[in-house]
Structure formats: structure tokens, C-alpha cells
A and B are shown apart, each in its own frame.
Chain A
Amino acid sequence: NAGVTQTPKFRILKIGQSMTLQCTQDMNHNYMYWYRQDPGMGLKLIYYSVGAGITDKGEVPNGYNVSRSTTEDFPLRLELAAPSQTSVYFCASSYRVGSLGNEQFFGPGTRLTVL
């Protein structure tokens, strides 16, 4: 199993550009999540999905969109990049909800810089 994979690893965008961060998992997990990690801060949830076709907003969704057409893929879309979106983005997945103590598996991250 590859686990959770993310592409690209690094990206530099100009203000106003758009891009899609890709996330794929091969563990047949229903739950998938997108987090951003800012320096000296913990991770903040952007969007999450409880299954194909179902997505919902997390704590910091503004400026982002997601879709979940398959169990495996959960892409994150930035439409009009802004410097405030400079961050490291992590995708994660889990089999069941965390309240049951189930582990979230994280991808290696995408480091995005918006200039």
C-alpha cells in the first residue's frame, strides 16, 4: 500500500492564479480531510469528506473548494491564490471517525508559496 499520496510536493503560485492539490489514498478509507499547517501553529481543517459525493466545510474553508467523486481521490482547489494561502497542506484519511480512536493517516504534504 502506498497509503496517502499528494502531488505536487512544492509549488510557487502568483497572486490570482489557481491550482489543484491532488490527494489519493489506497486504503479504501471513507473519511478524508484537508488540513493546512502554518509555522508555529497546529493543523487547521479546511474541508472533509465522509464518502464519495459528500463534502463539508471545516474550520478555515474560505478560498478553497473540494470534490469527492471517488473513494480514492480528494482534490483541493484554490481558485484565486492569495499570499495568506502560503502554507503546507496535508491530506489525511481514516477508516472511521476519530472518536472511536481510529487513526488518521497523513500524506507527506504540499508546500505552497503564493507571491
Chain B
Amino acid sequence: GNSVTQMEGPVTLSEEAFLTINCTYTATGYPSLFWYVQYPGEGLQLLLKATKADDKGSNKGFEATYRKETTSFHLEKGSVQVSDSAVYFCALSGDYGGSQGNLIFGKGTKLSVKP
């Protein structure tokens, strides 16, 4: 079935360090891919998305490129800030049988950025 695998956390970085959070997926068809962010005590917010192969989603300095050949959607940021500390979820959605528009989530990666 469809699934999302993302790197285990927690990830601890110093401010201004480079961030990569790996995400790979298994899906039939052509899913859309998403990164959501969850700040402490809050609901999830969409960070960025890509709807087809080779699309690059970007927002707030974060980027991710939809790689169909490697079934990946890795999240990157060149210089993290303390305010980026949160849990990051990779997710996919597509026109497969079952729940319409349902998102399949990875387990989440907790990022802590130290000053």
C-alpha cells in the first residue's frame, strides 16, 4: 500500500546549520507530496507542496524537490533558526482507492535548533 518513510529524529542542530530531513514514499499513480510543520501545542500547518515530478516546493527558506526516479521528497534549509524548532511531517495524497484526498503521513521528525 501507500506509505511514507522519513528519517528518525530527534535532530538537534546549531543555529545557521544546514538541515536535511529525508523522506521517501511508496505510492501507485502520481501522488502530490507535502511537508507539514507542527509547532509545540499547535495543529499542523502546510509548509510546502509539490504536485508533479521535478516540481520544487519552497517556503520560508525551506525547499523540497519531487523526485519520481528516487521516490523522494527531502526537506532542506540552508540556515536554520531557533524558531524552526518543530516537528516536520512528510505526507502524500493521490487518486488511489479509498479515502478521497486523504493524507498518508510519515511518523514525523522532531527538530531542535540550539542558539
List A residues at the B interface (Cβ < 8 Å): 4, 31, 33, 40-45, 48, 50, 56, 58-59, 90, 92, 94, 96-104, 106-109
Nearest-Cβ distance from residue A66 to partner chain B, whole angstroms:
13
User: Which residue, of A44, A45, A101, has the highest number of chain B Cβ atoms within 10 A?
Assistant: A101
Query: Can you list 11 A-B contacts (CB < 8 A)?
Result: A33-B102, A58-B99, A98-B32, A98-B101, A98-B103, A99-B101, A100-B32, A101-B51, A103-B34, A106-B45, A108-B43
Task: Report the separation of the CA atoms of residues A59 and B103 in the bound assembly, to the nearest whole angstrom.
Answer: 11
What 19 additional pairs, Cβ within 8 angstroms, besides A41-B108, A50-B100, A58-B102? A4-B43, A33-B101, A40-B107, A42-B89, A43-B103, A44-B105, A48-B99, A48-B100, A59-B99, A90-B43, A90-B44, A98-B34, A98-B93, A98-B102, A98-B103, A99-B94, A100-B51, A101-B49, A106-B45
Task: Report the separation of the CA atoms of residues A56 and B102 in the bound assembly, to the nearest whole angstrom.
Answer: 12
Query: Would you list which residues of chain B between 1 and 48 have a CB under 8 Å from chain A?
Result: 4, 31-32, 34, 36, 41-46
Residues 78-115 of chain B, each 1 if its beta carbon lies under 8 Å from chain A, else 0: 00000000000101011100011111111110000000
Nearest-Cβ distance from residue A4 to partner chain B, whole angstroms:
8
B102 touches A48 (CB 8 A): yes
Chain B residues whose C-beta falls within 8 Å of the C-beta of A99 in the assembled complex = 31-32, 93-95, 101
Name which residue of chain B comes closest to A38, CB basis. B107
Chain A residues whose C-beta falls within 8 Å of the C-beta of B104 in the assembled complex = 42
Nearest-Cβ distance from residue A30 to partner chain B, whole angstroms:
10
A43 touches B102 (CB 8 A): no
User: Which residue, of B31, B32, B36, B100, has the highest number of chain A Cβ atoms within 10 A?
Assistant: B100
Question: A43 is contacted by which of B46, B49, B89, B95 (Cβ under 8 Å)?
Answer: B89
B43 touches A109 (CB 8 A): yes
Task: Report the separation of the CA atoms of residues A100 and B101 in the bound assembly, to the nearest whole angstrom.
Answer: 9
